[in-house]
Amino acid sequence: MESGHVSVETTNAIATVRFGHPKGNSLPGSLLSLLATTIDAVAADAASRVIVLRSNEPGPFCAGASFDELKAIADAETGKEFFLGFAKVILAMRRCPKLILARVHGKAVGGGVGIVAASDYAVATVAASVRLSELAVGIGPFVVGPVIERKIGLGAFQALAVDATGWRDAAWAERHGLFAQIVDDGSALDAAVGALAGQLARSNPEAMAKLKQIFWEGTEDWDARLPERAAMSGTLVLSTFTRNAIAAFAAR
């Protein structure tokens, strides 16, 4: 658990993919790569028909990328590789032929919002506020931007990206389509996710795969676009402005 974990448990054709990290379920590069390869593996596993993506409790759903790794970036190529982490997960979720349900028990920040947006259906508790904090440390939500904009629209994405220190509550996220459903607490969350996952596990896999293809129409260029966005962030993170912003953020 010191370096985090990703696990899979498949029961009754429902594959539950769980990630966790002691620092707010943040996702360093090694965990992001493992999460992407795990989703690819579950996508190819005939024993499952639907995926539930969740993280450890209590605490946030996902605090985003590892801040320690962000501070350690020393060159543009390392920076690009760092920012490619969430791109790998988003692209794995995009190409997975199975519907992915996100179980969002708490707050989501930065790349965590991108993961929620990349799911096909997200159920969250009222405690699940969201924030894109990238601009506050001198960069921007460039890699996760396309998947978030696709889900909630340009106007709502602009609001999140520009107000990098403000939280939007679960009701806002549901109203703009990031969450499909919000519930009061963890027990209601388990009931809602379990009921829908069970229903989908009994549904026609071919129909669900074709439906997912329709959901993701227009994203065919993302295999090239997201790495380009990662390179943009990888260069920005080396600027004096961003270095100072990161130092100020770390000193809080």
Q: pLDDT tens across 135-161, in order?
A: 999 999 999 999 999 999 999 999 999
For the chain, list the domains and their CATH numbers.
Answer: 5-201 (3.90.226.10)
Q: Is the sign of the CA dihedral 238, 242, 245, 249 positive or negative?
A: negative
Q: What is the pTM of this model?
A: 0.96
Query: Helices then strands (H, E): number in the chain?
Result: 11, 8
State the pLDDT confidence band at 251, using cuts at 50, 70 and 90: confident
Q: Is the pLDDT of residue 43 over 60?
A: yes
Mean pLDDT of all residues belonging to the chain: 96
Q: Are 119 and 53 in contact (CB under 8 A)?
A: yes
What are the angstrom distances between the C-alpha of 19 and each of 23, 177, 224, 225, 229? 12, 24, 27, 26, 25
Q: Are 25 and 61 in contact (CB under 8 A)?
A: yes
pLDDT at 252: 75
Structure tokens at 206: 């071919």
Q: Is the pLDDT of residue 162 over 90?
A: yes
Buried b / exposed e along 16-33 (16+ C-beta atoms within 10 A): bbbbbbeebbbbbbebbb
Cα gap 63→78, rounded to integer Å = 21
Q: Of how many residues is the chain composed?
A: 252
Cα gap 237→72, rounded to integer Å = 10
User: Is residue 96 left, alpha or beta, with left meaning phi > 0 and alpha meaning psi from -120 to 50?
Assistant: beta
Q: Residue 222, Cβ neighbours under 10 Å: how many?
A: 19
The one-character DSSP state at 20 is E
Structure tokens at 133: 């904090």
Structure tokens at 156: 């709502």
184: part of which helix (H) or strand (E)? none
Cα gap 186→71, rounded to integer Å = 34
Q: Is the pLDDT of residue 19 over 60?
A: yes
pLDDT at 2: 63
Cα gap 112→100, rounded to integer Å = 15
Q: Is the pLDDT of residue 33 over 60?
A: yes
